[in-house]
Structure 1
Amino acid sequence: MTPDAVRARRVLTPEGVRPATLLIEDGTITGVAPVDLPLPGEAEVLHVADSAVVLPGVVDTHVHVNEPGRTEWEGFATATRAAALGGVTTLVDMPLNSIPPTTSVANLEAKQAVAAGQLAMDVGFWGGAVPGNVADLAPLWEAGVFGFKCFLAPSGVDEFPPLSPAEFTKALTEIASFDGLMIVHAEDARVLDAAPAPPSRAYSDFLLSRPDEAEVAAIAQVVEGARETGGRVHVLHLSSARALDLLADAKAEGLRVTVETCPHYLTFAAEGIPDASPQFKCCPPIRDDGNRDALWQALDAGIIDCVVSDHSPATAEVKLAGDGDLQLAWGGISGLQVGLAAMAAEATRRGIGLEKVSAWMSRHTADQVGLAHKGRIAVGADADLAVLDQAVPLTVSAAGLAHKNPISAYDGLTLPSQVTTTILRGRMLDRTDPGTHGGMLRR
């Protein structure tokens, strides 16, 4: 179905949640009209249940699709289908863990060639900054990547090594020269090397091996880099609340620093994670309940800018390696399909409205990467919509999720609402088979 209009009692507009009729033409919102606007008899209208709210489609700027090279871990077909079913209408693919990584124009073109014809929703691409590829950064920018990811500690895959402090400064200086964006996995390699990391099935031991100090030290380096070069920097998947004062001070200073966190850091807490449960392992790790509260407060205060999935799946063989030894298991949470529902549930429990959740997951992420026509319900924007029905609960079953490998920290979680309809550029996607109506985005 490609509706000419969407009618609902609750639509999230720039003026707040209100009754509205959304008029759609050629995949674009052409009007945000009164809910009782008369329409021609032949108009095809989607009537949304009163229990549901119409939100902008989620713009998830942190997804590891892994294709080509590790397509058994995920892939464009399965990742974009899972995304679409969860209300995500745009994603930006990370430059790893595919082989080759997106560290040159040739590698970007290889990834785009594989993605063609597989996309259930719209997809853009990050480039990568690794040792020795400074000369590739400007050509990648011209080829349309949205920015450049780097690591300050080992990434977990040999083909995407970390930058030393000197290499980070050199790469950031180059990126600043064309006003690009550097996005950083901020854990300090020296702090991690000094932390105890014995073989262990205990989650408390895993936490000790990825201490808060690793994030704080790395973020201090990122902030200093922004100060030194004038460049734009973005801190990926913040987990440690102990870095919040440093980030708040950087913003107050006027440095061009933005920050994201993830639904798993905002939904789970270390106290509730069983030992020998690698489905909860990620780097940096899920920390304690007080830390989680502080992250929510920082979101509400604007210190943290946005929320993204950091969907990082792997095969069961890799994810469950070590028979419960958390030092050997792959680190990554699979949550692409349930992030919006999980965030809505936890926000509601804390008395936070859906308009803030949507801003963190849609508008702010879209604005960060310059997609002014995404992530909002407004005239001229793409008609990308997610219908979240608050009368339809969701009990998550990892086996029932659309991503390729049925492992997820969210398995068994019951959420009070779920996405029941996703609309991509005016086209209502089939819940059984969303199809391949997505396109590839350039900066």
Structure 2
Amino acid sequence: MAGPGTRVFISHLSAIAVFDPNGDQVGRVRDVVVSLRLGGRPPLVLGLVVEVVARRRIFLPMTRVTSLESGQVLTTGLINLRRFEQRPAETLVLAELLDRTVTWTKTGEDVTVLDVGMVQTRLREWEVSKVFVQVGRASRLRKGKGERLTLDWQDVTGFSLPEQDQGAANLLATFEQLRPADLASVMHHLSAKRRAEVAAALPDERLADVLEELPEDDQVEIIGKLQEERAADVLEAMDPDDAADLLSELPGDEAERLLGLMEPEEAAPVRRLLSYEEDTAGGLMTTEPIVLEPDATVAEALARIRIRDHKPALAAQVYVCRPPNETPTGKYLGTVHFQRLLREPPYVLVGELVDDDLDALPPDTPLSLVTSYLATYNLVAAPVVDEADHLLGAVTVDDVLDHLLPEDWRDADLHAGDDDREEMHGGR
């Protein structure tokens, strides 16, 4: 159990599970809320930001925390499920303090914050007590460069000052293991300044994966703050349908400029997608389904669907076509679902297993009919072909859901009726 003198470094709390008194998992820690105080007094730790179902963030007061040990947080009492809103006097440790440049008062040197430690006082309150820092250059007191030190809070200044170029290396290290959708949730809740710093620090492939999970407003904001050459590189790393969706939200001249900076072979499928109406099979489809020639074997097909980069809906079937294999392909022959592949010997040719009973969708098929098609035949993806039976791409159920759900579905308040569920001793 946590008790007076217990010290915890806050980066160690990132993403750990939170359990209620019954042992049921409530969510995971995403940040720690503190209140900076005057007169050099250590900041008071107010509580934890906990992500619960549907990436909704709530506030868990430290008075409700009974244990911070063994890689988990235990709570007591009812939890208020009202959505967390940061107040002006509050600071988020992971989002706002990590990577800051502050001053070590003993030497006058600038140091970079790597972590922050908090301790429980005799009054059973939690306050920030330590700052783990990176010193960037040598001094007369130390030898070498890049030394890491743990300093008392009172030994550093500058946390309350605005900072222009904060960086994001240590924040990203804290969330390194998060899935793209979870990192997208973290970025969505950052300030615009911090979000831009994190985006600048992410590798192109990682940023592309995260952008695909962000709301459109965040996508436009982030891509607009990148240098155009890098923005084009990130768009190339995105799935063509997601890149097309993002470009369609930009002014026409800006979108065309970015398309011009992309490699021609990467820009071509995106341009094709932009030529279709948004709410049609052509506008919804991905241009990178798994395509095989009829003389490919079951073993080859299974090897293709095992590739980790394929989304589950795309890996549920392969599309059998005459060459060329890149969309638009040669003549579309039919589909082979992965369950059929699992039932056949590895040497059997996929051309012998083709299911051609269902008609493929024309690219101008409206969203309502695409939805009915998938629901009627219990499919997670459907082929899209042109008038000459060339495969153009495939529509997946996740793309359909993205267009059926409200634009703000990622922010949907799934517990809007829970505002009256106050904690046992009141809210914040």
TM-score range for the pair, normalised by the shorter chain length: under 0.3
Q: Between Structure 1 and Structure 2, whose CA radius of gyration is higher? A: 2
Q: Which has the higher contact order (CA 8 A, sep 6+)?
A: 1
